Chains A and B, each alone.
Chain A
């Protein structure tokens, strides 16, 4: 049979952001897939070399739009490691709350996208509206809805406002109740199971070998989570489980995210209940002359997509010498897609992309 080329993207390919895949098709079966990134390249790494340490705080969150807080936390942690300071306990708890809310918000986005890609169009409407309640909380805490610019080297920028804890608990209760609704329409849906089961399988050995991280790795049966293995913020003091599934297909990759939302709700409840009193920021240099001693550090957090790392080199000046950003989607979006797409139907392409939760801004940076 004759093969033909099909360009998917850069708009609406089943991914949040601009990203295209060049498919070689035989009938409606994919023979070869070549991811083609670069539509969102903004040169953040170069930009950060030219700006002071504090001037970089408002731009790092723009690297991944649906899940901005891991960037802020990573950047702040890298600077803290080089300065040799630790944020105070209260700041760590506030960071944990922000990071987990950001994870839930990002997972809700993924649910909506995946459900949309298999034709369940009510779910995107629900998840996006529920995500807005989390954005309301962010707005209350930080003053911004999407870009929070909140986690500052040495701690956080503001304390929890009055009434935040009660409002956050209300939102958590609401989300927990909503998960039942989602179950009925989406997670227990016959159609979802029929479409997603057995699609894009990554087995355990391949997952480690190919560099899969985060929820996608745990869906393949590897119990690994940066929050447990290399604790940052307040995760070392909180009690939570790491859900693991063994199927490694699109169905398991979505279900593991649903289980993670439940765990995140648990983590936030604990953090809200046990938040200690005290200062919210460690003493750091003057923001106008923020000089960081020479050295290099690799820090990483568990973002909603996987291992999110920053490698920062300082040469003792007021600007970072080099910042490298390791987005989880760098492997998921290029290498894994190349491996997974061939052999699947065209209709499943966007579903596989969304089940991997690829975030193109992380690839391009």
Chain B
């Protein structure tokens, strides 16, 4: 149950903000400091949340922050827990989850390429989808894709 998971997290971590979103069943959103992510992910993994659904990133450009979102799922409780953490936009660094889940590699590689977030301790942050990309990472909010395509592909605009 959602309440059980909330109790479990509250009982073991004090400075964690827990939100149960409206209209959404079987979802728990928690916000933590960026140093706490690995600890809490390990704790949840030991408590049944063994499936790493996804890792993604949201660019809050007005705040000057990147928000990393980790989705964990438990096959026993059948609940999705989203761990959210905000990191500095100017110096985006975060500890890798590679020791916990091998497949975090794919997601971290993608975020590194698309947002320029650097994952400490991940050796394989090689180019993933883009080829020979220079300039700012394309999924950031300040990347203007319309302007880019005009400059790159429209001969008249050049």
Contacts and interface: CB of A to CB of B under 8 A. Distances in A.
Contacts of B117: none
Interface residues of B, number: 39
B52 A211 contact: yes
Q: How large is the interface on A (under 10, 10 to 19, 20 to 34, 35 or more residues)?
A: 35 or more
Contacts of A307: 53, 73
Contact of B102 (A209, A295, A322): A209
B75 A311 contact: no
Interface stretch (A65-73, A262-270, A326-334): A326-334
Given A81-B24, A224-B75, A295-B21, A208 B145 contact: no
Contacts of A211: 51-53, 101, 103
A222 B26 CA distance: 20
Contacts of A326: 53-54, 56, 71
Contacts of A52: none
Nearest to A35: B106
B23 A84 contact: yes
Nearest to B110: A330
Interface in B75-114: 75, 78, 80, 82, 101-103, 105-107
Interface string A323-365: 0101000110011000000000000000000000000000110
Given A297-B21, A307-B53, A313-B58, A46 B145 contact: yes
A222 B76 CA distance: 11
Interface stretch (B9-17, B33-41, B123-131, B150-158): B123-131
A38 B131 contact: yes
B29 interface: yes
A225 to B, nearest CB: 10
Interface string B42-73: 00000000111110101100000000010101
Contact of A298 (B27, B101, B103, B105): B27
Interface of B: 21-27, 29, 50-54, 56, 58-59, 69, 71, 73, 75, 78, 80, 82, 101-103, 105-107, 128-131, 138-139, 141, 143, 145-146
Given A38-B130, A47-B145, A224-B75, 20 more contacts: A37-B129, A41-B130, A43-B138, A46-B138, A50-B145, A81-B21, A81-B23, A84-B22, A209-B101, A209-B102, A211-B101, A298-B27, A298-B71, A300-B80, A307-B73, A311-B71, A321-B58, A324-B56, A334-B106, A335-B102
Interface of A: 37-38, 41, 43, 45-47, 49-50, 81, 84, 208-211, 213, 222, 224, 229-230, 295-298, 300, 307, 309, 311, 313, 321-322, 324, 326, 330-331, 334-335, 363-364
30 contacts: A37-B129, A38-B128, A38-B129, A41-B129, A43-B138, A43-B145, A46-B139, A47-B145, A49-B141, A50-B145, A84-B23, A208-B75, A211-B51, A211-B53, A211-B103, A213-B51, A224-B75, A229-B78, A295-B22, A297-B27, A298-B82, A307-B73, A311-B71, A322-B58, A324-B56, A330-B106, A330-B107, A335-B102, A335-B103, A335-B106
